[in-house]
Structure 1
Amino acid sequence: MAQFNDWCVPVVIPVGQHHLRVLTGQATTLTTGIQATAAIVPHHYVTSEHVARALARLGKSAAAELIHGMLPTTKQLRSGDLGEIYATEWIDSQSGGYSAPIKRLRWKDHRDMAMRGDDVIGIRQDPQTQSLHFLKTEAKSRAQLTTQVLTEARAGLDKDGGRPSPHALAFISSRLLDLGNLPLADAIDDALLRHNIPLQNVRHLLFTFSGNAPAAMLTASLQTYSGQIMQWGVGLHVTDHGAFIEAVYGQVIANANNL
Structure 2
Amino acid sequence: MTGDLSPIDKAKFVAAKRAADLVESGMRVGLGTGSTAAWLVRCLGEMVRQEGLKFKGVPTSTRTAALAREVGIEVVSLDEARWLDLTIDGADEFDGDLNLIKGGGGALLQEKIVATASDQMVVIADIGKEVETLGAFPLPCEVIPFGWQTTKALVEETLIQMDVLGRNTTLRMNGDAPFVTDEGNYILDCHLKRIGNPRQLAMVLNQMPGVVENGLFIDICDIVVIGFGDGRVELRDINAGTVEEERLDFVESDNLFSDLAD
Report the TM-score when normalising by structure 1: 0.29
Higher helix share: 1
Report the TM-score when normalising by structure 2: 0.28
Higher strand share: 2
